[in-house]
């Protein structure tokens, strides 16, 4: 596969996976690992259960890779599959608890309905975060580094620190940031982002 795999569309990666290109499969898994793992975690599952969902989602993708009719909608397919597998695990956990042979207090505790849901808003935020991370990965190194320093660090560095890291002047940080944000928005729009 020619070119940087990070710049390939989902459709291009999926088609390369169908041809048996291992690097494309690894790129696809890397692209979606945070999002797929986050769905069960946000639904309240522990790390082991989230890992199980993650593995099942990509196993299912591998099993059905030839049958995916709309490769350009892979993102939606993966999210839907992760949600379904998450709910199966949650439902399985409820069924296991209801058959427990514990004492009355324990039975009453499990009799309370578990109303936890994965709100659509939380899922929307996860998808938007994933889309921004993927778009950021497509930017040139200078923009990627600048935007990561400005928006992804636990503490925002000073312009002096940023200028030193980028090997530029402090006065150029603002205009460079604006250009990089425009480029990021262009990449996001190319991938179907329709937010503000």
Structure tokens at 48: 């082991």
Distance between CA 13 and CA 151 in Å, rounded? 28
DSSP for 17-60, written as a single string = HHTT-HHHHHHHHHHHHHHHHHHHHHTT--HHHHHHHHHHHHHH
Domain ranges of the chain: 5-118+134-138, 141-196
- Split at pLDDT 50, 70, 90, the class of 54 is very high
To the question of domain 5-118+134-138 being in CATH 1.10.3720.10, the answer is no
Judge contact between 35 and 42, C-beta under 8 A: no
> pLDDT tens digit string along 80-117?
899 888 888 887 775 444 444 445 544 444 444 444 44
> pLDDT tens digit string along 137-146?
889 999 999 9
Judge contact between 174 and 163, C-beta under 8 A: no
- Share of residues in the chain with pLDDT > 70 (%): 80
- Tell me, what DSSP letter sits at residue 158? P
Judge contact between 83 and 118, C-beta under 8 A: yes
Distance between CA 35 and CA 169 in Å, rounded? 36
- Residues composing the chain: 196
């Amino acid at each position: 596969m020619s070119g940087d795999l990070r710049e390939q569309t989902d459709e291009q990666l999926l088609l390369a996976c169908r041809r048996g290109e291992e690097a494309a499969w690894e790129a696809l898994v890397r692209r979606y690992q945070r999002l797929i793992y986050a769905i069960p975690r946000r639904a309240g599952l522990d790390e082991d259960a989230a890992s199980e969902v993650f593995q099942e989602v990509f196993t299912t993708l591998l099993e059905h890779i030839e049958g995916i009719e709309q490769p350009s909608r892979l993102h939606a397919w993966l999210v839907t599959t992760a949600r379904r597998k998450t709910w199966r695990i949650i439902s399985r956990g409820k069924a296991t608890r209801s058959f427990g042979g514990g004492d009355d207090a324990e039975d009453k505790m499990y009799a309370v309905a578990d109303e936890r849901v994965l709100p659509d808003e939380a899922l929307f935020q996860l998808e938007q975060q994933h889309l921004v991370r993927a778009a950021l990965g497509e930017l040139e190194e200078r923009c990627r580094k600048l935007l990561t320093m400005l928006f992804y660090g636990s503490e925002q560095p000073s312009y002096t620190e940023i200028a030193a890291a980028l090997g530029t002047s402090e006065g150029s940080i603002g205009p460079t940031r604006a250009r990089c944000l425009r480029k990021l928005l262009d990449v996001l729009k190319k991938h179907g982002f329709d937010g503000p």
